[in-house]
Amino acid sequence: MGLGVVLRNEKGEVLACACYKRPPVSDFVMAKTVALWYAVDLCNELGFNKVIFEGDAQLVVEAVNSEDEDLFARGHIIEDIKTVFKGRSAWKVKFIRREENGVAHLLAKNTLDIVQEQI
C-alpha cells in the first residue's frame, strides 16, 4: 500500500511531501485512516501548531470529529488521532472531494515504486 502526504501552508504552497510504503490493509477506509495517522505523526514531529488535515474519506473525517468512541477495526488509530488532537486546539480535519486531493493520490501511487519512505 502506498501512502502520500502533502503539507501546505495557508497560501497553498507545499512545505513538505511524504511517501510511505506499507503492507496492504483490508479496505479503503482503513487505508485512509492509516494515511491520516502518518500525516498527524509527521506534523507532530515537525512541531506544527496550526494544521488543517484534509481527507477524501468522509467516514474517517466524521470518526475523528465525533466525540463517540470508534468501535470499528480502525478504532484504535482513530482514538490515537483524537488523543493527539486533544492537545492541539488549532488542529482540525475536514472532508474534501477526491478531485481536490490529486497530489496526495499521485504520491501514493508512485510510492509503490520506492524502496523506503521519503520525506
Residue boundaries of the structural domains of the chain: 20-102
pTM over the 0.95 mark: no
The pLDDT of 41-70, averaged and rounded, is 92
Asked if the model's pLDDT at residue 63 lies above 80, the reply is yes
β-sheet bridge partners, residue 54: 94
Per-residue pLDDT, 66: 96
Q: What's the Cα-to-Cα distance from 92 to each of 34, 35, 64, 102, rounded to whole Å? A: 17, 15, 9, 20
Asked if the model's pLDDT at residue 105 lies above 80, the reply is no
Per-residue pLDDT, 67: 94
Q: Rounded CA gap, 73 and 86, in Å? A: 22
**Residue 98 has which C-alpha cell?**
477526491
**Residue 99 has which C-alpha cell?**
478531485
Torsion of CA 54, 57, 60, 66, to 10 degrees: 70
Average pLDDT of the chain is 87
> 77: pLDDT confidence band, cut at 50, 70 and 90?
very high
Q: Rounded CA gap, 71 and 82, in Å? A: 14
Q: Grid coordinates 501511487 are at which residue?
A: 109
Domain covering 20-102, topology = Nucleotidyltransferase; domain 5 (3.30.420)
